Amino acid sequence: MADEPVKQPVPPALRISLTGVLLVTLLLLGVRYMNAANLYPGVVNGAEAGPALARERNDVREVEFTTADGVKLYGWVQGDDAAPRKIIQFMGNGEQVGPAAELYAASCKALNAQFLLFDYRGFGASEGKPSEPGLYADARAAHAFAVDQLKWRPESIILWGRSLGGGPAIKLAAELAENPPAALILEAPFTSVRDMASLRLAHLGKPEWLVYDLYDNLSRAPGLKLPVFHFHGDADEIIPYAQGEQLFAALPGPKQHLALPGAGHNDIWSDETRAALIRARINEFLGAHE
């Protein structure tokens, strides 16, 4: 019987290298998971809130549309079809279609507008999992649906981005630069997730090195030639007011900034007097650029 070949032991240096690669891979996977968990929190109301509320209202109709990468999104068209202003709303983080129905009903009336509202992938009643490229794909799909199915004229569409929604709204506006929308409305936007990480997670040393989804709004701002209305609470506890000011300063104009004294991030619309002021100023701004 032939002698069996002697198994050579794995060299210690190679074993250490392979272990190091495995540990780094696990670390990067963990960082990516923590990024997603922190940046895209779960939606409290779940997938049934939008459809349930739609059945209770006579000013909305439910819609569905599919992104270029095959994700089905849920949304509402809210307001009168005859309204001359057409607004695509990009909501904030953790928000979904339905719970703020009365807020949008009031905005439809005050602005003489119709809104397209939709859940980002992984939010509310939409499929998929959220990511920066994914939310950009969602924005493109919403715009394509508005133009192709709702028959909204591209040059008449207004983009409105709130908080996180400023990212996909700004990216879409930049992509449409050659045939721009009528206007862009920014509600409490940030400069970039990297800047937010540096501010909120400074105890980690260099947290910006661990960020995957960037939403670099500041770098895109100088290329936005369309009219921009910007408003932000100066007591915002989530997105610093200074970031909003920095982003606004980078916009080439025409533009207008509305500071909201004493307003935080999630209570901007809670005061009826302030809400009426915001809508009146937006209405005036849009009227001046129609």
- Report the alpha-carbon distance of residue 17 to residue 160 in Å, rounded: 50
Residue 20, classified by CB atoms within 10 Å of its CB into exposed (0-12), middle (13-18) or buried (19+), is: exposed
| Pair of tokens at residue 24 | 């780094």
- Report the alpha-carbon distance of residue 35 to residue 218 in Å, rounded: 20
Cβ(80)–Cβ(114) below 8 Å: yes
Q: Which residues of 213-228 are buried (b: 16+ CB within 10 A; e: fewer)?
A: bebbbbebbeebebbb
Q: Of residues 163, 192, 195, 232, which has the active-site annotation? A: 163
Question: Annotated catalytic, 236?
Answer: yes
Question: Annotated catalytic, 131?
Answer: no
| Pair of tokens at residue 133 | 């490229």
Q: Which residues of 125-149 are buried (b: 16+ CB within 10 A; e: fewer)?
A: bbbbebbbebbbbbbbbbbebbeee
Q: Of residues 143, 230, 232, 265, which has the active-site annotation? A: 265
- Report the alpha-carbon distance of residue 175 to residue 169 in Å, rounded: 10
Question: Annotated catalytic, 126?
Answer: no
**Residues noted as catalytic:** 163, 236, 265
